[in-house]
Structure formats: C-alpha cells, structure tokens
C-alpha cells in the first residue's frame, strides 16, 4: 500500500484516482516491487484502517527529518534538464 502510494506520488499525482493508471502497469509494479496494486477504493480503505498508525509515525518523523538529514536544498542548473542521461 505504501509503495504504491509513494510511486503514484513520485509521478506527480496525489489522489486515489491516480491508482487506476498504475493498476495494470507491469513496469510500475516491477519497478516498485509490488505484486498487485489495490483498487482506488481498496487503497482508501487501507489508509482508513491504518490512519492512527500513519499519524503516529508522521508525528514522530515530521519535524525531525529535515533537521536530522541536514541536506542543503539548492537550485539545479538548467543544463541538468537538457543533458541526455544514460
């Protein structure tokens, strides 16, 4: 459930409906290490069942992660987006 959601978020989509687009995408499932993907409804229900766990984890990590990681956020040069990557 989390891998699926993170994968969908990484594609720039943030709603449960975006799950429809990856349900039958074998490349997505293989890349994310997912055997099956839940339906839009199943994903929502899964989050509802685990909402207290996720809230607890988010509270523990929310304020700490940026401070603990200490990674500078810098602008990427325009050439980063124009070079061909192998």
3-state secondary structure 40-68: HHHHHHHHHHCHHHHHHHHHHHHCHHHHH
DSSP type of residue 76: P
CA distances from residue 59 to 52, 55, 56, 73 in whole angstroms, order as listed: 11, 6, 5, 23
- Tell me the CB-side half-sphere exposure of residue 29, using CA atoms within 13 A: 13
Domain boundaries, the chain: 2-82
| Whole-prediction pTM | 0.49
DSSP type of residue 5: H
CB atoms under 10 Å from CB of 73, counted, come to 5
Q: How far apart are CA 4 and CA 36, in angstroms?
A: 9
| Tens-digit pLDDT profile for residues 16-69 | 777 777 777 888 888 888 887 777 788 778 878 888 888 888 777 766 555 566
Q: Please give the pLDDT value at position 67.
A: 58
């Amino acid at each position: 459930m989390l891998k699926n959601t993170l994968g969908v978020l990484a594609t720039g989509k943030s709603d449960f409906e975006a799950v429809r687009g990856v349900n039958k995408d074998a490349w997505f499932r293989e890349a994310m290490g997912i055997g099956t993907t839940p339906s839009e409804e199943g994903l929502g229900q899964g989050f509802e069942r685990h909402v207290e766990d996720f809230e607890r984890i988010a509270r523990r990590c929310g304020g700490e992660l940026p401070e603990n990681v200490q990674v500078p956020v810098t602008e990427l040069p325009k050439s980063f987006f124009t070079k061909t990557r192998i």
